[in-house]
């Protein structure tokens, strides 16, 4: 097959596009990276989930160990039921505590897990019983003001 100059230029063009795509994929983006094959699903009930969304990370000691698969309102218990998809290689004791935390002051919400001391591990379909709700800033401020108001004012010292 005869070779033309056009072929060389188009080849260079396509290679440049491919290099650009590779740079975007490897240097700029992640491959949606976190999707482990071996997973187990647990649920947890929270009084208040704050701004937790689906796909939010589940972290333990700051390391991502799972994802929030779903958030729904439990109309029997009147609280929020959060479904967590956990990476199968990380096992947690049954008395693990789940808390809804915030990364930084303005950051997004995530679920933080703190391992307990039980010998048994959480299995697929289990419920995390010990939970801690999201911190609502307005509540803290009102509690703070309330406790301040209850303090007996220190009498001004006489000279």
Partner 1 sequence: MRDGLLDWFRLIGGKTINAVWRIGSGTRFLFLILLYSGLSFRRFGLTMRKIFFSGVLSTIIIVVSGLFVGMVLALQGYETLQVYGSEEKLGVLVALSLLRELGPVVSGLLFASRAGSAITAEIGLMKATEQLSAMDIMAVNPIGRVVAPHFWGGVISMPILATIFSAMGIFGAYLVGVVLIGVDVGAFWSQMQAAVDFRYDIVNSLIKSLVFGIAITAIATYEGFDAAPTAEGVSGATARTVVTSSLAILALDLVLTGFMLRGWN
Task: Kindly list the residues in this chain that would bind partner 1 in the complex (CB under 8 A).
Answer: 4, 6-7, 9-10, 12-14, 16-17, 19-21, 23-25, 27-32
d(CA 113, CA 92): 9
d(CA 122, CA 93): 6
CB of 22 to partner 1, least distance (A): 9
CB of 84 to partner 1, least distance (A): 20
CB of 146 to partner 1, least distance (A): 32
Tokens standing for residue 5: 């100059």
CB 59 within 8 A of CB 65: yes
**87 vs 126, which CB is nearer to partner 1?**
87
**23 vs 145, which CB is nearer to partner 1?**
23
For the residues of 41-109, what is the DSSP string, one character each? EEEEEES--TT--TT-EEEETTEEEEEEEEEEEETTTTEEEEEEEEETT---BTT-EEEEEESSSS--E
CB of 26 to partner 1, least distance (A): 9
**30 vs 154, which CB is nearer to partner 1?**
30
CB 119 within 8 A of CB 71: no
CB of 121 to partner 1, least distance (A): 29
**107 vs 155, which CB is nearer to partner 1?**
107
**34 vs 144, which CB is nearer to partner 1?**
34
């Amino acid at each position: 097959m005869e070779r033309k100059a056009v072929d060389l230029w188009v080849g260079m063009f396509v290679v440049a596009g491919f290099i650009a795509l590779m740079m975007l994929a490897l240097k700029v983006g992640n491959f949606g990276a976190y999707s482990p094959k071996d997973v187990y699903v647990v649920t947890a009930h929270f009084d208040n989930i704050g701004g937790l969304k689906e796909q939010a990370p589940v972290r333990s000691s700051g390391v991502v160990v799972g994802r929030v698969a779903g958030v729904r309102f439990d109309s029997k218990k009147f609280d929020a039921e959060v479904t967590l998809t956990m990476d199968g290689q990380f096992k947690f004791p049954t008395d693990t505590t789940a808390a809804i935390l915030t990364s930084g002051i303005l950051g997004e919400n995530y679920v933080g897990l703190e391992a307990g001391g039980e010998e048994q591990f959480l299995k697929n379909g289990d419920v995390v019983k010990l939970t801690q709700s999201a911190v609502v800033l307005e509540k803290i401020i009102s509690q703070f003001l309330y406790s301040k108001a209850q303090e007996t004012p220190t009498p001004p010292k006489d000279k």
